[in-house]
Amino acid sequence: MNTPVKISPATLAKLAKLGIRHRADLLLHLPLRYEDETHLAPISTVQPGQTVQVQGTITHSEITFRPRRTLVCRLQNNGGELYLRFLNFYPSQQKQLAEGKQIRAIGEARTGYYGLEMVHPKCRAVEDDTPLQQSLTPVYPTTAGLSQTALRKLIANALETLPLTDTLPDTLLRRLHLTGFADSLQLLHNPTPDIAASALEDRSHAAWRRVKFDELLAQQLSMRAHHRERGQRLAPALAAHGRLAARLIQDLPFALTKAQQRTFAEISRDLARPHPMQRLLLGDVGSGKTIVAALAALQAIENGYQVALMSPTEILAEQHYLKLRDWLTPLGIAPVWLSGSLKKKEKQLAAERIASGETLLAIGTHALFQEQISFCKLGLAIVDEQHKFGVQQRLALRNKGKAAYAVATDSSDAKPKQSLPPCRGKDRMGVESRADNTSTPSPALPLQGGGSCFQEPHQLMMSATPIPRTLAMSYYADLDVSVIDELPPGRTPVITKLVSDARRDEVFARVRAACLEGRQAYWVCPLIDESEALQLQTALETFQLLAQTFPELRVGLAHGKLDNAEKARVMAAFKTNELHLLVATTVIEVGVDVPNASLMVIDHAERMGLAQLHQLRGRVGRGAMQSLCILLYQQPLSELARARLKIIFESTDGFAIAQQDLQLRGPGELLGARQSGVAMLRFADISADEDLLEHARQIADELLRDYPEAARAHLHRWMANKHDYLHV
């Protein structure tokens, strides 16, 4: 057996960029695709769109300068000809591709300016008798400065020097008709000549299925590990008395939908357990998540615990505050409003009421837990639009309760004492915990009246980004998921129209007519991804243009750079119908509720993603009248933009849209992989590999029960790398 090669620190850094931190990770760094260098296609038979290997003689080679410096070579053979084009090239390449040279080129053929061409094909000089490759050539995901050859060598060395022990027992493999781990990896890295390229490309080959199964199984095991770990942490058991909830429900002008009842029941059951709930409440825009959150809050309050309700923006937070104040004041509960823009004095007052336990419900923005706010007895934290919150913020939230635990543990020798200091000025049990997590150890106080120990609040996350349930469950490995899958009755679906920018004048006329009839409209400014300054400039220009176009209308502008007070003022003016038309950037994306607004124009809709379009459209259709959403687009449309607009035009169901988005872009893009940090699937595709996922679910339980060692080894192989994230 060979010995492991030495890897230089520079290479290690590059490998780390690929997520390879241990030698064993090299084994699971699998090819992205394969190049077929096993045979040659006659040039005359090549069709545009095909990726092929051809061989011929360079009969012409020149550098052209229009539109930019390009090396163009003509490759001929047996009456066929094809052009090779290089936009970036070295002098050595130019020499290699000089007239008269015999070349083998592999690349995708397409129709170009001169006829059939390949752009940046992989080329090498050959003789008449240079042998062809015997098997498909793997192409790995790589990073700048790390060549395919270097990566191949490292992986080959890992395959030779590391044990490829199967983590799964034979009996399971036989029952599931899965191939062995070692064989599968060898084959994927070094396919034998008899293997059909297509089975490897579309990942349907048995070797791929084994790897995908392993990945899904690891994910299932890690989810179970999370759950088990959470089951060992403590949270207050908030019994479901339901008295306050019943009173609120009775006072509502509407009846809860079945989905609202079901999801609340799921939440209520979790809250009653002495372990922290971590549940994601998924529901389309307008599905009525707020009332479910309010009911959950009441369950905590009824048990004498505090609730924090947090939103990513001031506008949203305030909306929640006003709504919950209306709902809960008759029940004798006065929420406290807390936001970054409060005056120092007011903030201090609010903070004191929260710290003393006088207030049981605090509603606000991130400020609630980013700043020095300490809760007396936090039982439940509700986070709206949780995808806007980063991993760090979720951790900070959890630590609000943890600090209390630290005080108790530090001061006792071995086991944590179940005792905490009482609230300031109140006789409730609980502890002051600090956001900065620097509470100084103090002697453990004797147990107070035999109450329970408060360590960690329950967490309820809410999201209107409707992602498919399976995806949600595997993406948020540590979350339970409840889905509100029906809208309250009596909504008129929004009509969506696609209008080319060439017909902008007609759209203006429509906006004018609607506003003069007493309706209100949104005009969403084009999205400029590259720069915030440009985005702002575009918003200002759009506003000026529309104000000029509609001198008879009152036009307002809301954008992300307005200060909070100004933004609130504009939104309030729109809400009270002082403004006819609100020009806005995507700040209005989430949560804004103005029932009288029944027309929305989305300018340059082709630049926006599906989720964003869906969210924006959800701002209209909130009242009784028929609403209209006009998607104004600029020609020409890219294929992706065309596909997106078609989907949003045809469907108003957020989950259906998300499902299609998933197919269009894949889960990583859909969710913004970097944002969460929880392990994403690299190989398996939960929509295409549902059968494997089902097996993985069953086997995970069986493995944990009958083969705990195997389960441990399996998790180690697949998750060792991701450990940092496991506890978020």
Residues that bind Mg ion (CB under 5 A): 591
Cβ-based nearer residue to ligand ADP, 309 or 632 = 309
Q: Is 621 in the site for ligand ADP (CB under 6 A)?
A: no
Question: Minimum Å distance from CB 515 to ligand ADP?
Answer: 23
Q: Is 598 in the site for ligand ADP (CB under 6 A)?
A: no
In this chain, which of 31, 191, 283, 335 binds ligand ADP, going by CB under 6 A? 283
Rounded to an integer, what distance in angstroms lies between the CA atom of residue 165 and that of residue 180?
A: 9
Residue of closest CB approach to ligand ADP: 288
Question: Three-state SS for 74?
Answer: strand
Question: Minimum Å distance from CB 342 to ligand ADP?
Answer: 24
Cβ-based nearer residue to Mg ion, 591 or 621 = 591
Question: Minimum Å distance from CB 623 to ligand ADP?
Answer: 10
Sign of torsion, CA 32 38 44 45?
negative
Site map 475..514 versus ligand ADP, x via CB under 6 A: -------------x--------------------------
Cβ-based nearer residue to ligand ADP, 142 or 260 = 260
Spatial contact of 688 and 659, defined as CB atoms under 8 Å apart: no
Q: Is 619 in the site for ligand ADP (CB under 6 A)?
A: no
Joined together, the tokens standing for residue 422 give 């009482």
Q: Is 464 in the site for ligand ADP (CB under 6 A)?
A: yes
In this chain, which of 286, 304, 623, 677 binds ligand ADP, going by CB under 6 A? 286
Question: Minimum Å distance from CB 269 to Mg ion?
Answer: 23
Q: Is 386 in the site for ligand ADP (CB under 6 A)?
A: no
Cβ-based nearer residue to ligand ADP, 593 or 685 = 593
Residue 276 binds which entry of ligand ADP, Mg ion, none, CB below 5-8 Å type-dependent = none
| Strand extents, DSSP E, 469-536 | 480-484, 495-500, 520-524
Joined together, the tokens standing for residue 226 give 């999370």
Q: Is 289 in the site for ligand ADP (CB under 6 A)?
A: yes
Cβ-based nearer residue to Mg ion, 266 or 385 = 385
- Angle CA 49–108–33, to nearest 5: 105
In this chain, which of 105, 106, 172, 291 binds ligand ADP, going by CB under 6 A? 291
Rounded to an integer, what distance in angstroms lies between the CA atom of residue 445 and that of residue 412?
A: 10
Site map 535..574 versus ligand ADP, x via CB under 6 A: ----------------------------------------
Site map 217..256 versus ligand ADP, x via CB under 6 A: -------------------------------------x-x
Q: Is 364 in the site for ligand ADP (CB under 6 A)?
A: no
Cβ-based nearer residue to ligand ADP, 257 or 278 = 257
CA 479 to chain centre: 14
Q: Is 715 in the site for ligand ADP (CB under 6 A)?
A: no
Rounded to an integer, what distance in angstroms lies between the CA atom of residue 336 and that of residue 353?
A: 8
Q: Is 169 in the site for ligand ADP (CB under 6 A)?
A: no
Rounded to an integer, what distance in angstroms lies between the CA atom of residue 70 and that of residue 62?
A: 8
Applying CB under 6 A, the site for ligand ADP has a residue count of 15
Q: Is 287 in the site for ligand ADP (CB under 6 A)?
A: yes
Residue of 272, 135, 268 whose CA lies nearest to 194: 135
Question: Minimum Å distance from CB 589 to Mg ion?
Answer: 12
Binding region for ligand ADP (CB under 6 A) out of 15-23, 160-168, 279-287, 681-689: 279-287
Q: Is 257 in the site for ligand ADP (CB under 6 A)?
A: yes
Spatial contact of 191 and 39, defined as CB atoms under 8 Å apart: no
Question: Minimum Å distance from CB 249 to ligand ADP?
Answer: 10
273 DSSP 8-state letter: S
Cβ-based nearer residue to ligand ADP, 319 or 535 = 319
Q: How many CB atoms lie within 10 A of CB 507?
A: 18
Q: Is 285 in the site for ligand ADP (CB under 6 A)?
A: yes
Strand order in the sheet with 378-383: 336-338, 361-365, 306-311, 378-383, 458-463, 278-283, 480-484
* 727 half-sphere exposure, CB direction, 13 A CA radius: 8
In this chain, which of 56, 138, 288, 335 binds ligand ADP, going by CB under 6 A? 288
Residue 455 binds which entry of ligand ADP, Mg ion, none, CB below 5-8 Å type-dependent = none
Tally: H helices and E strands in the chain: 25, 21
Q: How many CB atoms lie within 10 A of CB 1?
A: 5
Cβ-based nearer residue to ligand ADP, 55 or 482 = 482
Q: How far is CA 333 from CA 271, 302, 360, 402, 423, in A?
A: 20, 10, 8, 27, 19
Q: Is 583 in the site for ligand ADP (CB under 6 A)?
A: no
User: In the 3-class helix/strand/coil scheme, how is 133-166 assigned residue by residue?
Assistant: CCCCEEECCCCCCCCHHHHHHHHHHHHHHCCCCC
Q: How many CB atoms lie within 10 A of CB 596?
A: 17
Q: How many CB atoms lie within 10 A of CB 48?
A: 11
Question: Minimum Å distance from CB 323 to ligand ADP?
Answer: 7
Spatial contact of 421 and 442, defined as CB atoms under 8 Å apart: yes
Footprint on this chain of ligand ADP (rule: CB under 6 A)? 254, 256-257, 260, 283, 285-291, 464, 488, 593
